[in-house]
Every structure is written in structure tokens, then in C-alpha cells.
Structure 1
Amino acid sequence: MIILKAEKEQPQTSDSNDNDLPPAYERLGPESLGQLQSVGIDGRVGLDLDSKLGRTLAKIVPAPPEYFAITAELPRRDWHIKLNIVIQVVGSRGDVQPFIALGNELQKHGHRVRLATHNVFEEFVRGSGLEFYPIGGDPAELMAYMVKNPGLIPSMRSLRQGDIQRKRAMVAEMLDGCWRSCIEPDMLSHRPFVAEAIIANPPSFAHVHCAQALGIPVHLMFTMPWSSTRAFPHPLTNIKSSSWDPGRANWISYGVVEFLTWQGLGDVINKWRHSIDLEHVPFSEGPSLAETLQIPFTYCWSPALVPKPVDWPSHIDICGFFFREPPSYTPPPELAAFLSGGPPPVYIGFGSIVIENPQQMSNILMQAVRIAGVRAIVSRGWSNLDGPPGADIFYLGDCPHEWLFQHVSAVVHHGGAGTTACGLLNARPTVVVPFFGDQPFWGNMVADARAGPIPIPHQQLNARNLAGAIAFCLTPEAQAAATVIAERMKGETGVKAAVASFHANLPLTRLQCNILPDKCVAWKVKKGKKKLRLSKLAAEALIHSSFLRRSDLKPCETRKIYIENHRWDPVTGGTSAVLGTVSTLVGAGANMVIKPYEEYKRGSSSFEPATPSTASASSGKPLPLLPSLLETEDRGESSTTALQRTGMQTAGAMAAASGKSLGQFMTSYVKGVVVDIPLAVTEGLRGVPRMYGQEPTDHGAITDWKSGAVVAGKTFVIESAVGIADIFYQPYKGARDDGILGFAKGIGKGCTNAVFKSSGATLALFAYPGQGIVKSIRATAHEKTRKAIIQRRHREGEWLFALDQGAHNVVVASAFHQLTES
């Protein structure tokens, strides 16, 4: 287990106000993160909250609300709008299978469903009747990496072997694949597709960012707790604390996991965001993005095992495990003969886990079966477990668990949520041998329910303790506990409940087409004084009827996502902005020397020409020849001379590189001094009341120069007035609530608000219009993705119109006339 140790200071009690304040100008540098040296054998990160580093991390994590939310659910409703839904899943076959069940249920509501996951699952997905889109990534390699590095901190061996860089490269590939899955046609039918809603598991990482680029709703679903709660810690942490309130410590654990995850992948995500014309996500915002934006979340487990915590708001649901329809299956004769040849066997299998030493594991399983005196079916899985044939062990290839678990006495597996759910649904006591991720969590949940023994981490597994665990599962007590859970689970409808949760969290009024109410909005159009929201089909029908031109259509966002850089106070906010600006200037200044030198080195070396066939084969498309090569070959000179720059060409390239770097330097300087630093100080001044429990007024999003000017004016008027009013209101409120002591505190709060709010209001007159101007300029310079989305929406509209064959033309034209003339 890793303990985050640092110099001990006086312990703070959980009710100390300091726990809710930001760190006093501390930064977590390499020397702090270097304390994360190892993980426990169960892969969990040890977190000592009494250490200096632990308290610093705790201050970075947003404090939990002072109240407990009521575990209400959003009202369920009938749904009639048919959407293009892409489901993005990263993980093993066990991770993909529940989402196949979800996709099939969504299809029953008329949705078009595409499941985007690893290439190796194409046959599995398409065979289930869903569209498929490959996102890249090798799940076997991911599983092998996770077995070697079960927690968040990679081992030294992985660092030496280059596993980290390969994983980062794989994540970059999958991010790009997830984006393409939102806008590219089907790879078999070539049917156009533009996503109108996204469902994803958190490890796909692209979900929120794709939704932001498209302006559509996103909904996360997972088998493992990922939302902050006081009820239990994050499954990937092991908390050590003697002075903190357990609920507060549990809450902090979620922020720490997100912080460490973003620490490792934030730069990869931001580089990819730049490729789809999205702005950089600040380091302070990346870890808590989903919670800050209140992204709807559905957890795919049974409340019979883990009830919904009382501090999860209504947009977070627990809906039950996702089960697909049991597949039709006829066992091969050898399996049927083994099952009928004695008492029900024990199932043992580790699914998609890639075990480092499969022969050693096979030997342990064989010995354990013989010690326990049972018969066993061993699933070979991705590790290809095998051994000598015997009367008591049957080695099995692929076989659906839904069928097989009806014929066994107990199950031994890695603790994946899907396998755990299937075993418990069939009332089978369970031994969990966890490797990483949520597997220890599910092992502990099964043990707490007495439906199985305490989980055995795979590093501790041996023949004797496995035999003892199997013996526990065969006791009447374990069987009775598993039966109770099975009866409760059979009353749940996990997939149906998840679809209802998904529909309940969708913005119905913003999704509905004004003309075809069962179609999703894609465009907005203004005709005279009327503003209409149109689906792709309705817009295309109106274009073909000459009621509209394509230029009349503007893309409509049904769920706008704004990522703001929240500041704690004016000092840390301003300091952070200054450091960021200085860092950018240093980089641009260095490039004024480095880039010209690189051009000089490039000009002084010759290189072999690439033939068109070679270039095409390596990149997948032909590369243009250099103009200088064509000109020189016309003069009959050699290709080697042609590909070698002249002195004038090199000098020109060096001057251009230097000029470009100088331009970047000046642009960064002006933006930093005129916009970034004043904006950071302004936001810091607005954030001061948070230090004593007051939330600043929401000034609205700034998206362009117009909204910047509006927000500046509104902020100046409101904040100035409130700041002055607080001089009188805060003492009155304090006296009303806490008597004379409250009156004294109110005087302090009122004076503080008057100074900071008035100062912030004045600075806002300059900062917010500047921010708006920068956003307008950036939007103009980064239109590639926006234009690509518009183009693909038009293509899908044309395809839908051709498929419709004019069936809706009269209805669309009549409705359009009524709406625009009324």
C-alpha cells in the first residue's frame, strides 16, 4: 500500500475551516508527486490525509455540500423523439456486453444506435444487431497493462519497458476514434451518421469533449463508483486518516483519483482537443469536469448490493445490472457429457484478463480443485488457461455465462461487474480473485452480503486458499445469501431503468423539431420574426421545396457545454495567470532561436526522394511532390540536388520561422497582459465570498464579443450594487442568525464584499469584453470542425430525404407555412 507521506504538521480536525480553503499558494511539484512510489497488492492508492501532501490534495478537491441531497429521481416520461446515439466504450468484452444490452433496448424506442469500441469486437457488436464503429486500441494490451499496473501509479518495470508511452499513444488513438465515431458514416453501409446524443463509460475519456464540440447531450454509465460521495471511498483508494471525518475523507478520495488520472493524461486530451478546435482545459478544471458540468450518470449495479448514497443528486441514478436477452445456445457434446457426468461443477474463469504466467495459474487451479474435492469447468479466456485432461476438470472455450451459470454450483472469477451480476442473478455463491479496477470493490460487496468469501487478490492466490474459498461457497449459508440477492435482482429491470434514466435527463424541449416532433433538432432558422428549430429531414424537405436555402440554416446546439477556469481568489488567480503567461512567453522566445536553427539544419542536409507509390503506401494517400523537384527535373538536374535547399531558400525559411515565433511571442504577451491576467484577477475577486460560504452570482457564459460586453455591463451594475448593499445587509443577517457575534462577523463580511465586489465589478468592464473578443477571434480562426459538422449534417439530411421519398413533403411545407405566417 502506498502512503502519501510528507512532513507532519499539527493534525486538523474535520470541522476546521481551513479544510475548505484553497491551498495557500502551494503547488504540487515533481517532488510531491514523487512520493507516489508504489501501490498495494490490490492496486489501490494509499492516501494519508494527515500528511502535508494529503492535506494539500484535500484542499484542491472541492468541498462536499453542507447538506445531504434527497435521493429523488427525475420524473420518468414517455419518449418519442428518435435520436442518433453513439455509445463509446473502452475496456474488455465484459465491459462491452452490458452496453450491447443497452443499445438493443434503445433500439426498441426507435433510436439509431452505434456502438463505438475496439476493433476486435466488431463481430460481437454487429452480430447483436447494432451499428459498429472502430475506435482503435488493443483491449488485450490494455488488460495486460492493468494486470501489471492495477492502480493509478505505474510500476518501475512498466516505465522501463515503455508501457506508459504506448498506453498514452493508445489513448490518443482512441480519442480520435471516438470523435470520428460521432460524425463518420457507417463503414459497411456508408449510411451518414451525426450523433445527437452520447452515452459512454468514463474510461473512454472523449465523451464530454465530443459532446462539447457537437453541442449535444452526454450521459455517462459505469459499473464502478465514480461520483463523489461521503458514503464510501473511491474503489481505487485506501484511506489512512486519524483526524478527518470519514465522510469527508471518502469524498476527497474521488477528487484525488481524478487528479492523478488527469495528471497522467491531461496533456494528451488537451492536444486532441486542439485538433477538433476546442480550447485548452485548465489543469484545475480537468479532474472534476463531469461533476462541475453535472453530467448525468447512471450506475449499472443492483441497489440490492449497493444502494444509492443520500448525497447523490437526482441526475445520478442506480438502475440495476444490465442483462442482455439470453442467447440461444446448444452445448457441444463434450460439455453436455461433463455436466451430466456428476454433481454440478464449480466454474473458474478470468475472462479478458491477460495473466502474466498462465501456466502457473493453471497449476494453482488444478491443485485447488483436487484439494477441494470438486469438479470444475475452467474457462480458458484470453490467457488460454490449460492443463492435462482429467475426469474432474473440463477446459472450456467461449460459452455464454447466462446459460452456463445455470448448471454450476459456484463461480470463481476476476470480479468484473457483468460476471458478478450473472453469477448472483443465478443464485451462485461467488469467489472473486481481483486483478485491478472495480474488481476488489465487487469482491468486497459480495463478501459483505455473505454470498462469498473475502476476495483473494491474484498475487496472493494459491491452491490452498482457493480451495478454502470454494468450500465456503458450498456452505448452506453462502447459498442462502446468494438466493436472497437473486430474488431481489430478479425484480429489477436494469436496462429498462437505465433507458428511462437516459430519457429523463435529456432536454426534451430543446431536442424537438418544430415541424416533425419525433425528429431531433439539427438546425435553427429565422424567417422574419419567427425562429424555428428544424430536424435534418425537415430542413432538407424545405430546401428541396425552395422554402429555404442552405445558407439560411445555422447549426443548433441542444446541450451547450462551457468549461470555465474557476479562480479561488485574486492572488492565486492572478499569480497563476502571470505564471502561465510567462511560461508561454519563454517558450515563444526560445522558439525564436530554436526554430530558425532547425530550419538551418534541415537546409544543410539532403534526403532521399519518396516515390509516389511509396508515399501512398505508407500514408494511405498520395503525397504531393515538391514544386522545386518538378522545376529542377524539367532542367534535367538530379533529384538529390533538387531536394537540397539553396542558401537563399534556407535563409528564407529561417526568417519565416523566426517571424512566426516573434508573432507568437507578441500575441501571447498582449493576450496575457490585456486579457488573461485581468480576467483571472476579476474572477478571483468574484470568488472571494466562497471562502465564507457565499456563492457568487452567475454572470452567464461568454462566447463572443457581444456576450462579453453584456456580461461586463451586467456584472458592473449587479456586483457594485450588491457590494454596497452588503455593508448593511450582512450585519443585519448576522445579527438575525447569530446575535452579537453574528453582527460582528457580518460587519467584516459586508466590508470585504464591498471592497472585493466593487473592485471586481470595475475590472469586469475591461476583462470580460477582452475575453469575448479573444473568443470571437478564435472562433473565426478555428472553424474546421464546425464546418465539418455542418457538412455531415447536410449529407445525412440528403440521405434521409432520399430515403423518405417525399412522404413528409406536404406535412413539412404546410407546417412551415403555418408557423411562419401565424
Structure 2
Amino acid sequence: MFNITNHVVDCGGAKTTITDNGRLNIKVEKPEMMTTSPHWRRPAYKTRDTKAKIQECHATPSLNIVIQVVGSRGDIQPFVALGLALARAGHRIRIATHGTFKEFVETHGLEFFNIGGDPKRLMAYMMQNSGTQASGQIFWTNYLISTPYTVHLLLSSAYTPPPELEEFLNGPSPIYIGFGSIIVDDPKKLTLLLLEAIELAGVRAIISQGWGELGSEDLVIPPNVHFIGSCPHDWIFEKVSCVVHHGGAGTTAAAMACGKPSIVVPFFGDQPFWGSMIAKIGAGPKPIPFKKLTAPDLAAAISAALEPEIKQRAMELGEQIRNESGVDAGVTSFHHHLEHSNLSCGIVSSLPAAWKIRGTDIQLGSTGVALLVNRGLLSTDKIELLRPQKYDLNIGPRDPFSGMAFAFIDSAAEISGGLGHFGASTQELFRSIFEKGSVHSGKRSAFASSMEGIGKASINVVRAPIDISFAFTQGLHNAPKLWGDHHVELPETVEGIPTGLTAASKELVFGVYNGFHSLIMFPGQFAAHRGKRFDILPGLGFGTASCITKSLSGK
């Protein structure tokens, strides 16, 4: 057997020792090599933006960035475009999304991480629960990249169409109809509605089957309609006269970039917003919510979208968007919003900080820590993970009564679970006592399990009043949002006695202040929002309610 323990390898200034516990001990003899070696140099930031923005990018150390995206291809694609631009800026990018998109991400040269989940099931769930909002626990991250709503992040696609599609496109310009990842309960009914609308409008059409599998039933397809499978939006939209779609952010951006009018049929989420924005800027008619969609209304919308004024406006917007560089703007925005004081290692400034020396403001990267530890200048028990920002997604119940109800149900379930565990374990204990050949250790195990159950029930009996009152307070805290008072601060995070005392002192002071702020300011804001001077009296009532709830809840 070949023994590699304590084997030393000299790598030109860095010695690596394989220790007997299997770890690698890397000792860097020449720290300057890390800033002069080509391996540590960051690639130049290739951008069409200004010189000042390039210099700003160079001032940012190379970061490891994970972009997590949940949703459909239209949700993923803009982030891949942003990821490619960030990679050109010298960062290491990993896209964390569903396994369905692994090939798509890796084909563009980005790292991939599978977060699990089936996006088709997610879309089906969203269709059935369009008002549901996700909730989660506290999580920590250095930097958060949100959905790119304010810039157009476009990704060019190379595509070779099948012969049938090429042949269909040789005729008069068709319209495009596709709802992407939307899954409907009755695809046949929707397909028949679309075919009727196409006939009424007197147009040729390409219908994308999408995840909803439109046209998969045995239907008679007229010669002026052609069904297609997966096809890049930026390619197909260039070949059509207008686009009928669900109003997803990615699809909306692609249609606008190609200069095509949009007819939005929103289903849920942000889709109604994009539909209203398209109509507001004159790039399409008013959106038609899916639940109100009829063949005559869709046919009328198609005819309106093909009017010269709307087509001209869509072309102008498309030219404007194509002259912009959305991904460069996204990278610049990302760098601009970074807190540069929290970025760099204090020793190797080209690398990001990942650690902090306890009790100080000194920040170090992993390489800097390794240098100091290897030279005996720092002990590992003196450092802690650097967490510049923490986000709390648990904003609590929307009102005090539902908060109390759900807290009571949760407490009752925990108590019942503990008592049930106690009963089952006690039954097992007596069975082991009276059966022949019972093992003494088995009795002890059953006894300990029964005590665990009664302990769990007892703890939750004690905690129940605390949890219920806390939920009531959180509900009071959020209640002003119900009548439009959004001057509600996020609740403080409590992780122990010190943070609990800090949170309590802040809420005691700011609760009363914010309450009287609403009493004074909200009546006028309410009247201004309603556009009626005489609505100040109802506003005064809501302002008084805000004052009471905020003062009682602490914020």
C-alpha cells in the first residue's frame, strides 16, 4: 500500500502536506505570488459601458455568487444572461435552480446546482393557489440578487427550426400564441377557444404547446394554424406580427425587444402588472385575465394589436431596448449596491472577505486566514464567519385574530403529538413487561420514550400562552396594512436574551412614535390616495386604529 501521509509537495512558493487525518496543510512561503500569478489575476471586465463603470468593477474583488431561481425557463433565462455578464466581470457564478434546466445552464458555461423540485408541479400549484405567498425561515447571505424587473436581460439563442416550421413561415406573417409554463385544467377547451379566436380574427397563427400541452388532443387543425414545441422566443418572435402570451417577465421582455405588440392574458403573480404596463406604454391592448378570456374578446385584441399605431409604438420600444445593454446595466447595478467596506480581505485585497476576527472590524478571506494561521499569528478560535447582511422572511400573521388562531392550532397539535407519543410508548412499556423474554434494556428504552412524549407535551403547554400572545402581538403589528397603512416596520429578529432585550427596547420607543405618526399623517395620505378631500374622516378613523395597534404591538 502506498502511504501518502506527511508527504510534502513544493509548488513554487506553496508547500502542501498531506496529514495523517487526510487533510491538506497548505503553507504559502511567498504571499506575493497570489497577486502576481496568472491564476489569481481576474479577467478584464468586457463591457460596452463607460470607463468609469469598468474602473468601478475592477475595484470589486472576485466573488463567488450563487443565483437561485425558482420557476420556468422564462424565469431562468434572464438570470443566465446576468450570470454570463457577471462571469465576464471576473466573478465565479453558480445558478441554483431545478434539475430540468441543468443542460441549459451548463451549455452556457455556468456552474449548476440542483435545488430539486418539479417546475411543472410548481406552476400547476400556482394556478390552483394564485393568491398564495411563500414564507420561510431566517437565512444568511452576503449578497442577494433579486428578479431583474428594471432592466432587460436578454440572451441570444442559436436555433435551427424544423422543416415544417420553416415552410409555414414562408407564408404571410403569422401571430404567435403561447403561455409558456402555464398549466391549465382543460387544455382542450383552451385550444378550441384559441382556434375560434384565430378564425374570427382572420389571421395565421403559430401556437406553442408549452407545458400546458395545447393541441395535444385529437383535434382538426386548420391549415392556417401550426403547433410547435420548444422554440427560443428571441428567434420566433422576429418572425411573427404580434405575440399573445401570459405576461411572464421574460416573455414580455423578449416580445418588447423584438419590437412586437403584445396581447397579455395574465394568470397570476406579476403577470397582470406586465399586462397593464404593456397597455400603458401603447405596445398592446388592455390585458384580458384568463378567467375572463373569450374567443371574441381575444379576436378583438388581436385586431387591435395589428393596428398601425400599436405596431409602430412596439417597433420604437424594441429599437430603444436593443440599443440598451441590459446585462451591463445589471452588472453595474450589482456592483453599485455592494457595500465595498464589507467586501475585501484585509491581506489579499483582490479576494473577498469571508471571516472576521472576533471583537474587531478586521475582515479576512480564506487565504488570508490560512496565511496568518500557518505563521502562528492567528488562532482559528479567534475568527467567526462574516455575515454582512441577514434577512428575516418571517413577517408574522396579517392580523391578531388569525395569528392567535393559528398559534393555538399549532400548540394544540404539538401537545397532542406529545401525548400521543407518551401513550404509544407507555403501551409498548407495559407490553414488554408482561411478555415473556422481555429485555430489561427494552423496558428502559420504552420508559425513556414515554417520558420524552410527556416532556414534549409539558413544554408546549408552558409555551402555548407565550406563542399565542406573541402571535397576537405580531398580528397587531401587521394589522395597519389591511387598511392601506404601509408604514409598518419589519419586526426585530430575536435570537437570544441580548437581542430580545434590544428588540423590546426599540419596539417600546418606536411603537408609540409610529402610532402617533400614523394618527397625524395617515388621514391626509388616505384622502390623497382616494382623490377625495372629504375622505379625511375615514382616514382619521384608520389613523386612530393604526395608532392603537402600533402602540399596543410596539411598532
TM range (shorter): 0.5 to 0.7
Shift of the 676–447 alpha-carbon distance from structure 1 to 2, 3 Å rule, reads: closer
| Preserved CA contact (<8 Å) 1:515 1:534 | yes
Matches of 1:479 and 1:388, distance apart in 2: 31
Q: Give the match for residue 236 of structure 2.
A: 404
1:457 aligns with 2:289: yes
Deviation, structure 1 residue 715: 6.3
| Preserved CA contact (<8 Å) 2:415 2:461 | no
Aligned residue for 1:383, secondary structure, equals coil
Aligned residue for 2:355, secondary structure, equals strand
1:360 aligns with 2:189: yes
Deviation, structure 1 residue 653: 4.0
Matches of 1:446 and 1:418, distance apart in 2: 13
Encode CA deviations 1:220-267: one digit per residue, 9 max, x unaligned.
32xxxxxxxxxxxxxxxxxxxxxxxxxxxxxxxxxxxxxxxxxxxxxx
Encode CA deviations 1:184-221: one digit per residue, 9 max, x unaligned.
xxxxxxxxxxxxxxxxxx96x55x7332xxx5333432
Residue of 369, 372, 387 corresponding to 2:198: 369
Matches of 1:452 and 1:423, distance apart in 2: 11
| Preserved CA contact (<8 Å) 1:592 1:657 | no
| Preserved CA contact (<8 Å) 1:596 1:654 | no
Q: Give the match for residue 118 of structure 1.
A: 98
Which amino acid counterpart does residue 271 of structure 2 have in structure 1?
Answer: Q
Q: Give the match for residue 34 of structure 1.
A: none
Aligned residue for 2:67, secondary structure, equals strand
1:104 aligns with 2:84: yes
Shift of the 380–604 alpha-carbon distance from structure 1 to 2, 3 Å rule, reads: farther
1:323 aligns with 2:154: yes
Q: Give the match for residue 619 of structure 1.
A: none
Unaligned 5+ runs, structure 2: 1-51, 478-484, 521-550
Residue of 640, 643, 659 corresponding to 2:451: 659
| Preserved CA contact (<8 Å) 1:599 1:653 | no
Which amino acid counterpart does residue 594 of structure 1 have in structure 2?
Answer: G
Shift of the 668–349 alpha-carbon distance from structure 1 to 2, 3 Å rule, reads: closer
| Preserved CA contact (<8 Å) 2:266 2:288 | yes
The alignment yields a C-alpha RMSD, in angstroms, of 4.9
Q: Give the match for residue 334 of structure 1.
A: 164
1:646 aligns with 2:477: no
Q: Give the match for residue 599 of structure 1.
A: 425
Residue of 408, 422, 440 corresponding to 2:254: 422
Matches of 2:468 and 2:167, distance apart in 1: 76
Q: Give the match for residue 13 of structure 1.
A: none
Which amino acid counterpart does residue 138 of structure 2 have in structure 1?
Answer: H
1:558 aligns with 2:388: yes
Matches of 1:99 and 1:466, distance apart in 2: 32
1:210 aligns with 2:39: no
Residue of 299, 303, 306 corresponding to 1:474: 306
Residues 568-647 of structure 1 mapped to structure 2, 5 A cutoff: 593-602=419-428, 646=438
Shift of the 363–667 alpha-carbon distance from structure 1 to 2, 3 Å rule, reads: closer
Q: Give the match for residue 84 of structure 1.
A: 64
Matches of 1:682 and 1:330, distance apart in 2: 60
1:395 aligns with 2:230: no
| Preserved CA contact (<8 Å) 1:596 1:653 | no
Matches of 2:334 and 2:354, distance apart in 1: 20
Encode CA deviations 1:402-458: one digit per residue, 9 max, x unaligned.
122112111112221211221122221122222222222222222233322222333
| Preserved CA contact (<8 Å) 2:423 2:450 | no
Which amino acid counterpart does residue 231 of structure 2 have in structure 1?
Answer: C
Shift of the 557–493 alpha-carbon distance from structure 1 to 2, 3 Å rule, reads: same
Aligned residue for 1:343, secondary structure, equals coil
Higher relative contact order (CA 8 A, sep 6+): 1
Residue of 348, 363, 379 corresponding to 2:177: 348
Shift of the 668–137 alpha-carbon distance from structure 1 to 2, 3 Å rule, reads: closer
Aligned residue for 1:218, secondary structure, equals coil
Matches of 1:530 and 1:483, distance apart in 2: 57
Which amino acid counterpart does residue 559 of structure 1 have in structure 2?
Answer: Q
Matches of 2:369 and 2:82, distance apart in 1: 31
Encode CA deviations 1:547-594: one digit per residue, 9 max, x unaligned.
445444322222245789999xxxx99xx99x979985x777666743
Shift of the 120–588 alpha-carbon distance from structure 1 to 2, 3 Å rule, reads: closer
Q: Give the match for residue 127 of structure 2.
A: 147
Matches of 1:148 and 1:560, distance apart in 2: 32
| Preserved CA contact (<8 Å) 2:407 2:467 | no
| Preserved CA contact (<8 Å) 1:599 1:650 | no
Residue identity over aligned pairs, in percent, reads 37
Q: Give the match for residue 350 of structure 2.
A: 518
Which amino acid counterpart does residue 444 of structure 2 have in structure 1?
Answer: G
TM-score using structure 2 length: 0.66
TM-score using structure 1 length: 0.46
Matches of 1:702 and 1:372, distance apart in 2: 60
Q: Give the match for residue 214 of structure 2.
A: 385
Deviation, structure 1 residue 672: 8.8
Encode CA deviations 1:592-628: one digit per residue, 9 max, x unaligned.
743321113456889xxxxxxxxxxxxxxxxxxxxxx
Paired residues, what number?
Answer: 448
Which amino acid counterpart does residue 356 of structure 1 have in structure 2?
Answer: D
| Preserved CA contact (<8 Å) 1:320 1:492 | no
1:130 aligns with 2:110: yes
Matches of 2:174 and 2:365, distance apart in 1: 56
Unaligned 5+ runs, structure 1: 1-74, 153-201, 222-298, 301-318, 607-640, 687-692, 735-755, 761-822
Matches of 2:495 and 2:413, distance apart in 1: 28
Encode CA deviations 1:492-542: one digit per residue, 9 max, x unaligned.
43333333333233222122210111222122236xx97632111222344
Matches of 2:191 and 2:468, distance apart in 1: 62
